[in-house]
Structures are given as structure tokens and as C-alpha cells.
Amino acid sequence: MYILYRLVALLAFAASVLGCDHPQRSISQHVTANGVDLIDSQVDIVASRATFDCRASRSGSCHYTLFARICQGRDACRETPLEQLAVAAGTAQDVTGLPATVQVCVRTDTASVDARCQPHAPAS
């Protein structure tokens, strides 16, 4: 059994050296006003899994909107969100099955945003 563990460790090491490691990204947003946290969020993405850590939010929740990709140009930014979720301040939530190109937008409110993380213009 000891040899099996060593073999698995050796294969994992070889895969990481050859670049077979999972892609990962971290997205951090921390905004304060007069020394008070308005929002403090950390999102860690590894392969198709993301952990949404809402450390603080003036509203009590971090509101995340997820898009399939970062948009290029105004027309490309009109895509429908993959998912929207609210995470209570002081907690974290995992989401799986995300594309490697996922675009993450976070706000303290539930306002609708486009894939550039810009609020939608009010309807006239």
C-alpha cells in the first residue's frame, strides 16, 4: 500500500510539472468609506468550482451575478446571467459547473448588471 501512495504522489507531481494543474483565479473587491466596509468579497475559482466568500457588506449580503464570459464590446455584454446568488456577510458558498471564462460581478444590492458589471440603464 505504501508503494501505491508514493506512485500517486509521483504522478501528481509529474502532472503539475508538466502544466496539468487546474487553472485558478482569485477576485477580490474591498471598498470602504470613512473607514467602514461597504463590501469585502473574495472569490476563488479553481477549474469549474468557485468559492464566494462575503466577508462584509453594508446591506448584510454580497449579491453576485455570474456570466459565461467577460464581454468584448457593448453588444456582447447583453447576455443572460448564468446564475445570481446572495451570500450573507460572514459566510461563504461554493458553486460548481462554471466555465473557465466565468465573469463575476458583486454588489451590495440586487441591481441588475450587464457582463461588464455595469448597472443596466433604467427603462424609459
Which CB contacts under 8 angstroms, 24+ apart, belong to 4-7? none
- Greater confidence, 122 or 41? 41
**What is d(CA 29, CA 56) in angstroms, rounded to the nearest whole number?**
10
Query: What's this model's pTM, rounded to 2 decimal places?
Result: 0.77
Mean predicted lDDT score pLDDT of the chain: 83
Selected residue with higher pLDDT from 3 and 113 = 113
Q: Which residues on neighbouring strands pair with residue 96, listed in sequence order?
A: 49
Please state, for a pLDDT cut of 70, what percent of the chain lies above it.
Answer: 75
pLDDT for the residue 100: 83
Q: Which residue has the higher pLDDT, 82 or 6?
A: 82
| H helices present in 1-124, as ranges | 2-17
Q: What digits encode the pLDDT tens for the residues 69-116?
A: 877 766 657 788 999 999 999 999 999 999 988 999 999 999 999 888
For the ranges 3-7, 31-35, 87-91, the lowest mean pLDDT is seen at: 3-7
Report the pLDDT value the prediction gives residue 6, as an integer from 0 to 100. 55
**CA distances in angstroms from 74 to 10, 78, 79, 105, 115, listed in the order given:** 48, 7, 10, 16, 9
- Please give the CATH topology (third level) of the domain spanning 23-107: Immunoglobulin-like (2.60.40)
Mean pLDDT for the stretch of residues 21-37: 87
State the pLDDT at residue 69. 84
**Is residue 60 within 8 Å of 88, Cβ to Cβ?**
yes
Query: Cβ(100)–Cβ(62) under 8 Å?
Result: no
Spell out the domain ranges in the chain: 23-107
Distance of CA 72 to the CA centre of its chain: 19
